[in-house]
Amino acid sequence: MNKKNKQAQKLANELILVSLVMVGLLLVWDATTRISGFNDRQRQLAMQSVKAAASELETYIQGYQRAVDIFAEENRFFLSNVELWPQDKTLYAELEEKIMRFFPDALSFTIADEHGETLLPGQEALVGPMCREDIKAFAVSEDAHETYRHQSPSGKYPHFDLMTHWEGSSSADEIFFISIKTDRIEEMLQHSNVLGHRLMLVRRNDPASVEIIPPDNRDVLPEDGRLGDKEMRRISATSPVVNTRWDVVVLPGNTLYSEAHRNILVRSILIFIGFVVVSAIMRMILLDEDDQ
């Protein structure tokens, strides 16, 4: 190999090396940009999903509240009869049938006086201590009551409470109370999920306390069911639900970001390897031509 060929080969090697360095830098920039873009899109999707879910929940609860107001107004005479004869099992059964027909998700109901004292006897197993506290708070001020989740006395049925005033036989400020199961809220959160994200409701004054979460979303929770420091740091979006004690929050799936980032990096590495292979083949072809 003469001196001229050696210089040409050296120049070719340098050009190949410079090309590979430039390609590598471009691929690093491309991967970084793609990862940043993916992260931004996921944050936008998370914010859109929590806002949509919060809006849907507000509409759902407001609609239920209007239905409770209308039911109490339209059935005022019937409620008054139950108030006057609380021991009448037939009247109670008829009221229960009306309520279950009008509110298929209802768990329990009662009526109370203007002081928040329940008027129907023998309901301890249906209307628990927390529900009674809600009724008394509502009797003081409607604004004192905010929707939140709690368990039935049996501990089996999570629910939230709704109340309205109605004109009873002795007072215009008597209270009609109904508790609603949270199954429908779980379904709404499930349907609002964006692929790879997990929606849930948390207590606003205790964000680590998960109030309602669909069964399919529980893979992101620790074993004790509360959000730890790690999960709190991973929350990607939050939106309050008006007139409740809830915030809708979203956690990314456990492998959402790691899998996407790995796929982007693997793609870039494979492209770089492809350039290295092509460069090596081109160099071998040039060497063969020089030998000839």
Q: Is the pLDDT of residue 51 over 80?
A: yes
Q: What is the pLDDT of residue 222?
A: 78
Q: What is the pTM of this model?
A: 0.80
**What is the number of other CB atoms lying within 10 angstroms of the CB of residue 227?**
23
Category of 225 on φ-ψ map: left (φ > 0), alpha (ψ -120 to 50) or beta: left
Domain map (residue ranges) of the chain: 1-62+182-292, 75-181
Q: Would you say residue 223 has pLDDT above 90?
A: no
For the segment(s) 75-181, the CATH number from 2.60.40, 3.40.50, 2.120.10, 3.30.450 is 3.30.450
Interhelix angle 89-102/76-84, nearest 10 degrees: 150
In this prediction, residues 256-269 reach a mean pLDDT of 90
Contact 213, 189 (CB under 8 A): yes
Question: How confident is the prediction for the chain on average, in pLDDT?
Answer: 85
In whole angstroms, what is the distance from residue 234 CA to residue 193 CA?
Answer: 16
